[in-house]
Structure 1
């Protein structure tokens, strides 16, 4: 397989199959979701939809919520940010024009599928996702990512992808631990989050490959700050993950090998940040 962006494009075609931008479909991803739907997994835990809805609208969760509820709220709030970015990009045709590189179309479609993957996590517990905008600061970061000219914003977008990898991986680990007594539930959470993580690692590499060496240095510099920002803007994460350990992780160099360890799919990094 080739290296760099050419190699990444080959990887995307192999992993995702044919891209249908008009109908927002990737052929191989449709096969994955068909398997999910034909083999539903349901938790025996009872999660109160009304409590979930009320806290989804809150900036900070009410005191006394269970770790399971905090995990599901964190999942839903990450979905809010993903949906907000995807919908903005689609509304303005950011990555869908005929002049856009094909890999950008694939990346946008992968982000579209991430919203479905996160919604399926909630579906395990019978929860209906309520569409609402993410917090103000997250909205501004997403807008910056979508509307800033590529050459000005690519380093910030790349740093955000790096931070997103860590957040998704941390929640994946938390979910596995919380539902270890329900092996099928833990395995389904693991599978859904790993699909996202595999994509996000590729997005990091793509951003790094489009950056100059100076811009990659900015990516590395911004990464821990954006990771802390994401955790503050999703306070449920701060209650689920040890703050000092998370900060120590963010202060270390971005570790693709650790993030990729145990993933069922091969990952591809077009360039290291």
Structure 2
């Protein structure tokens, strides 16, 4: 077990719940809000950031609707498309989970996790809006839809390793997009800093989700979770053509094959991440 933020004597799932209450504040299920996340957004509203770069709106929207990007797009546009399409996958998962009533209101940890996912779709849209572009909501790629439907339609005790695998893949992909975005827009320090801030908000949550799922599994389940991550997670990333185009298959493979140290990742984001268990 690891408690990244030193919750006194609390550890594991109890420590994670205490961390969520401290970080998120009061949940409002009807409004899909967490009080301290709303305060975070209020602070951002008082410190607006906008890129001076201009991107062709029609090119962006046309490629957002395509399965594969048109030839000749530069790395900046590909990164924006990858971010927007990750948002589509997040929104699809959130919507389907709500449709099937997967938010358990008598489990405070799951209430927080479910509401966090709503904020992730909002945050990813905000990343794209830094560049004056909208995010139109469309179904994600077939592979993402299949995994989401499998997770939601399978009894929980069987789906947990797959849930953990998808959360691990999310961490790797979000870290890659964060690092790539910071590098691409390094000539605009305020924009690069806002990209880091927004992606780190998501990463803190996703790292916590990995640790939480791991805490629900025994040794065999965690082994399966790691194995699925190495095989299925990498294939899922390869099904994102914009991500492949901007990062390259070798870099994606390197990131997925690296040791997944959830405790070290949590330590990189003090105040934002908590690992209830290692994998």
> Same fold per TM (> 0.5)?
yes
Find the partner of 2:53 among 45, 59, 74. Answer: 45
CA distance in 2, matches of 1:246, 1:255: 17
User: TM-score, normalized by length of structure 1?
Assistant: 0.95
Q: Which stretches of structure 1, 4 residues or more, deviate above 4 A after TM superposition? A: none
1:9 equivalent in structure 2:
17
Find the partner of 1:88 among 66, 76, 96. Answer: 96
Q: How much has 1:250 moved relative to structure 2?
A: 1.5
Q: How much has 1:74 moved relative to structure 2?
A: 0.4
2:83 equivalent in structure 1:
75
Q: Which runs of 5+ in 2 are unaligned?
A: 1-6
More divergent stretch after superposition (260-269 vs 21-30) = 260-269
Find the partner of 1:18 among 20, 26, 32. Answer: 26
Q: CA-atom RMSD, angstroms?
A: 1.4
More divergent stretch after superposition (162-171 vs 244-253) = 244-253
2:231 equivalent in structure 1:
225
CA distance in 1, matches of 2:266, 2:76: 25
2:207 equivalent to 1:182: no
Q: How much has 1:97 moved relative to structure 2?
A: 3.9
Q: How much has 1:252 moved relative to structure 2?
A: 2.9
Contact 2:64 2:81 in 1 (8 A): yes
User: TM-score, normalized by length of structure 2?
Assistant: 0.93
More divergent stretch after superposition (147-156 vs 248-257) = 248-257
Could you say which structure has the greater relative contact order, defined with CA pairs below 8 angstroms and 6 or more residues apart?
A: 2
Find the partner of 2:39 among 19, 31, 51. Answer: 31
Q: What are the Cα deviations for residues 53-100 of structure 1, in whole angstroms up to 9, with x where unaligned?
A: 1111111111110111111100000000000010111122211444xx
CA distance in 2, matches of 1:80, 1:246: 20
CA distance in 1, matches of 2:105, 2:37: 22
Alignment partner of 1:222: what SS? Answer: helix
Q: How much has 1:246 moved relative to structure 2?
A: 2.4
CA distance in 1, matches of 2:230, 2:173: 12
1:204 equivalent in structure 2:
210
Q: How much has 1:108 moved relative to structure 2?
A: 0.5
CA distance in 1, matches of 2:254, 2:48: 37
Q: How much has 1:262 moved relative to structure 2?
A: 4.3
CA distance in 2, matches of 1:53, 1:180: 25
1:240 equivalent in structure 2:
246
1:102 equivalent in structure 2:
108
In the alignment of these two chains, the number of paired residues is 271
Q: What are the Cα deviations for residues 206-244 of structure 1, in whole angstroms up to 9, with x where unaligned?
A: 000011211111001011223322222211111122322
Alignment partner of 1:43: what SS? Answer: coil
Q: How much has 1:258 moved relative to structure 2?
A: 5.1
